[in-house]
Structure 1
Amino acid sequence: MGIFRRPRDTSAVTPPAISEFWDWWAQARPTIEASLASGPDRPEPDPAEFDTADIDMSELDSVDVDAAEADASEPGGGLSAEAMEELSRRIHKINPGLLWEIGGAEDRAPSLTVTGGGNPELRGITERWVRAAPTGPAAAGWTFHPARQPDPEMLGQDLILGDHEFDLEYVRLGMRADADRARVHLTAYHPDFLFVADEQRIQVALNVLHWALGEDDVARWVGEVSIATEAPIDSLPPSMLPSVVEQISEPFSEPAWLTGEGRTPRGHPARLGARFPLHRQDYPLCDLHVAISVPYANSNPDRLPVEPSSGALRAFEKKLGKLGDRAVLAVRETGDGLRVFHLYVDPDSGVISELDQLTAGWAEGKAKLASTSDPGWKALAPYQP
């Protein structure tokens, strides 16, 4: 049973560069719109680099969507090189790992997307960026997104990567449902995969998945992605992927808990409960891991809680569940006279002070609260199937 003992950390995580960006955007937007209208003036993008042809979307760190999509969709002819450079500089000042793209067309409003490229550690930053964006008349017709949005129309277009043009009408996906992990494992095929390098194959697959589902739903529900040079048996067009994901996700419309048993370091029985599935994308501002260690006074010979302590622990947990989207209870560990509640919380919401008060009010011993920044939810990984 892994009890977390970490230093206290309640620091805010909103970079000042976010407000600086929006101050600059208000002044620069007319210039950017003029650049979009005047036509492209930029160098040919280099393809993104990848090391493998097999991808686990739940572990993917970063994908260069700018390079992958630059020639696939250029509303208004594309930004000038000067405008691209300045926009990149401003966004990279927020975090150098962020990527961006401008979307829209003659019949759609312009949009600006800033994304962490699949890196869960950056999802909170992009969410804070979009929540600071102008709204209403101040947005001047623009929409802003913290992750790539689904765009099914792109699935019927051509995607140019380097010197190769892919007709996406020929993409097929082999789909295998994994109910135990609440994911869909995919095999991506295009007849041109025979003639291009792995880097281009993977870029095609990632773009297709994002256009079919959107970046957040890819992270939620897509598991392993493999590349095939022969069409998988019973493969389907990417347009069918949302329907398959809907079938996988339907049983988990209500929160569920996985339970397990083990042994404490002292050899006594231990009980574990983990919320499943629990997606980082559903709580994008919750970058802080909090462990609340609560001793209980009444236990059986195995050192597991009995009444009245078990009832008090249930009441304590019920209060944790009333914190809304400012905090989410992810795991509970019980054994050796101690229950540890693991939560992810929004450090800017003020919820830490409420948790401090709740912890201080525990009547069966001295409860302790420890917190540490964990924007990638790495501490949760050992508890997921």
Structure 2
Amino acid sequence: MGIFRRSPGNPSPNAAIARFWEWWPEARERLDGDVPEDVAEQITEHVEAMHPDLEWEIGPGPSLTVSGGGVGELRGIAERWYRAATDDAWEYRPARAADPDMLDGKLQLEDHEFDLTYVKMGLRADARRARVDVTAYHPDFLFLPEETQLAFTYRVLDWALGEDDVARWIGDVAAVTGEPMDALPPSMLSAVVQQVAAPFSEPAWLTGEGRTPLGHAARVAVRFPLHRQDHPLCDLYVAVALPYAHANPDRLPVEPSSAALREFEKSIEAMGERAVLAAHESGDGRRMFHLYVDPESGAVAELDQLAAAWPEGRAKVSSQPDPAWEVLEPYQP
């Protein structure tokens, strides 16, 4: 299996994706087992044109994976590459798949070979965050820098769960030089994650109360858990602000405004995978909807139309690229 990372450059993903799939059949015909050095360089160049931090690897199957390494900012580019595939001779993936069989083998990382049978992990499930915190141990960590320890740990996590599930369910990750108490082999990680994930088969809403900047009552609702990997094409943040005409003395919405706001929310939900409503907050006579949308799907134009038809005052729609979903971070538990 070959693993490569690109050098820095200027991304141009859409055109680069099209060029990749136009070129790829020619390269694929030359791949039979080993990857010739010149073909590896050409693959790197084509992947490099999509984004400088993407990774690629060729595995059994045969298969080709173009991966963002769990970085949310890159997930949408890898997904667009995957969906644009025009060739079905191989298996293609936009994220590393789980491969538990690799946990019994060896991994060559830089100048060091790890025997994976010695890996142990301390696992702490946090139901409040819907995350599993991991402390990884290998006896060879004693002789290696922290950067190498963590690189090794994340490779093991990818094999145990798959890259997307690592991003969904794994919280804090640390590498240690002493074996944790009650440590388990990484093959047990999947079972622990399933226990944490089981209550969240369907997203719920967390609600809270606070104060607006003007000191009035505020209500916030946040979809939880909400995973970037479940909405890979939604890398444009959109805020929709709707004034409401009917409020209580705390300036929170009451009927019939409450019903109108619920109908607006249903219109967003009807957009399907083109948009995901992440949170909304009400106060001072206004509800702000926080969404992420696929910028190539026409979702923004549809939201503009919905806002223009809002009957209770002048609505406002604003947007900005946010492939890493950074705007949402203050709303996460």
Distance 1:163 1:312 in 2: 63
Q: How does 1:5-44 map to 2 (within 5 A)?
A: 15-31=14-30, 33=31, 37=32
Distance 1:373 1:316 in 2: 23
Q: How does 1:115-264 map to 2 (within 5 A)?
A: 115-134=67-86, 138-140=87-89, 142-264=90-212
Q: Indicate the structure whose relative CO is greater, using CA pairs within 8 Å and at least 6 residues apart.
A: 1
Distance 2:239 2:111 in 1: 52
Distance 1:205 1:266 in 2: 47
1:226 partner SS = strand
Distance 2:223 2:240 in 1: 16
Match of 2:321 in 1: 373
Match of 2:35 in 1: 79
Match of 1:47 in 2: none
2:29 partner SS = helix
Match of 2:303 in 1: 355
1:201 partner SS = helix
Q: State whether structure 2 residue 37 is matched by structure 1 residue 89.
A: no
Match of 2:8 in 1: none
1:331 partner SS = strand
TM-score, normalization by structure 2 = 0.94
Contact 2:241 2:286 in 1 (8 A): yes
TM-score, normalization by structure 1 = 0.82
Distance 1:374 1:81 in 2: 36
Select 2:273's aligned residue among 305, 317, 325.
Answer: 325
Distance 1:376 1:227 in 2: 25
Cα deviation, residue 14, structure 1: 5.5
2:328 partner SS = helix
Which stretch shows the higher mean deviation, 124-133 or 19-28? 19-28
Query: Per-residue displacement from partner, 1:293-351 (whole Å, max 9, x unpaired)?
Result: 00000111111111111111111112211111110000101000000101100111112
Contact 2:278 2:292 in 1 (8 A): yes
Cα deviation, residue 187, structure 1: 0.6
Cα deviation, residue 261, structure 1: 1.1
Percent identity between matched residues is: 60
Which stretch shows the higher mean deviation, 242-251 or 163-172? 163-172
Cα deviation, residue 358, structure 1: 1.2
> Where in structure 1 do 4 or more consecutive aligned residues deviate above 6 Å?
none
Cα deviation, residue 355, structure 1: 1.3
Q: State whether structure 2 residue 243 is matched by structure 1 residue 291.
A: no
1:242 partner SS = helix
Distance 1:25 1:264 in 2: 54
Distance 1:164 1:286 in 2: 39
Cα deviation, residue 163, structure 1: 3.1
Unaligned runs of 5+ in 1: 1-12, 38-75
2:258 partner SS = helix
Contact 2:14 2:50 in 1 (8 A): yes
